[in-house]
Amino acid sequence: MTIGNSRKITRKIMVGKVPIGGGEPISVQSMTTTKTADVDGTLEQIYALFASGADIVRCTCNEEAAAEGLANIVPRSPVPIIADIHFHHEMAYLALEAGVNGLRLNPGNLRKPHEIKSIAKEAKDRNVPIRIGVNAGSLHPDLYKKYNGPTPEALIESAKMELEYFSEVDFFDVKISVKASNVPLMIDAYRLASETFDYPLHLGVTEAGPPPSGLIKGTAGIGALLAEGIGDTIRYSLTADPVEEAKAGRQLLEALGLRERRGVDLIACPSCGRAEVDVISVAKQVQEALEKKNLPIQVAVMGCVVNGPGEARAADLGIAAGRHRGHLFIRGEIVRVVAESEMVEALIYEAEKLVEEGIEARLAKKDKFAEKEAEADRLALFSEKGQDVNSVATKIESIRTKFSNKGESS
Structural domain contains residue 217: yes
Confidence band, pLDDT 50/70/90 cuts, at residue 386: low
Q: Clarify whether residues 190 and 287 are in a common domain.
A: no
- Rounded distance between C-alpha atoms, residue 346 and residue 319, angstroms: 9
Q: Note whether 232 and 339 are same-domain residues.
A: no
Note the pTM of the prediction, 2 decimals.
Answer: 0.82
Over residues 97-106, the pLDDT tens digits come to: 999 999 999 9
Describe the crossing of helices 113-125 and 152-167 by its angle, rounded to 10 degrees: 60
Residue 390: the pLDDT is 52
What is d(CA 13, CA 395) in angstroms, rounded to the nearest whole number? 63
Q: Can you give the CATH number for the domain in which 288 is found? A: 3.30.413.10
Same-domain check for residues 60 and 13? yes
Residues 116 and 218 both lie in one domain: yes
User: What is the pLDDT at residue 1?
Assistant: 47
Top mean pLDDT of 3-12, 177-186, 276-285, 313-322 is at 177-186
On whether the CB atoms of residues 317 and 376 are closer than 8 A, the answer is: no
DSSP result, 365-404: T--TTHHHHHHHHHHHHHHHH-TTTT-HHHHHHHHHHHHH
Domain final residue pick, 236, 255, 274:
255
Last residue in a domain, options 199, 231, 255: 255
CA-to-CA distance for 227 and 258, rounded, in angstroms?
10
Same domain, 59 and 202: yes
Domain contains 260 = no
Residues 180 and 203 in one domain: yes
CATH (domain of 232): 3.20.20.20
Q: Are residues 187 and 332 in the same domain?
A: no
Q: Tens digit of pLDDT for each residue in 187-234?
A: 999 999 999 999 999 999 999 999 999 999 999 999 999 999 999 999
Mean pLDDT along residues 342-348? 90
Both 54 and 148 in one domain: the answer is: yes
**Would 406 be classed as within a structural domain?**
no
Q: Is residue 408 part of a domain?
A: no
Is the residue at 275 inside a domain?
Answer: yes
Residue 403 covered by a domain? no
Domain count, the chain: 2
Q: Which is higher by pLDDT, 343 or 61? A: 61
50 and 148 in a single domain? The answer is: yes
Helix H or strand E encompassing 226 = helix 213-227
Which of 229, 255, 281 delimits the end of a domain?
Answer: 255
pLDDT category at 306 given cuts 50, 70, 90 is: low
What is the tens place of the pLDDT at every residue in 238-287?
Answer: 999 999 999 999 999 999 999 988 778 888 877 665 566 777 888 888 88
Same domain? For 211 and 302 the reply is no
- 238 DSSP 8-state letter: B
Query: 292 and 229, same structural domain?
Result: no
The percentage of the chain sitting over the pLDDT mark of 70, rounded to a whole number, equals 90
Q: What residues are paired with 322 via a beta bridge?
A: 325
What is the structure's pLDDT at 408?
63
* Through-space distance between the first and last CA atoms of the chain, rounded to whole angstroms: 48
| Residues 327 and 374: beta-carbon distance below 8 Å | yes
Average pLDDT, stretch 338-349?
Answer: 89
- Domain residues for 38? 4-255
Distances in whole angstroms, Cα of residue 232 to Cα of each of 202, 204, 319, 353: 6, 11, 37, 35
Q: What is the number of other CB atoms lying within 10 angstroms of the CB of residue 405?
A: 10
Are residues 231 and 345 both part of a single domain? no
What are the E-state strand segments in 48-129? 56-60, 81-85, 102-105
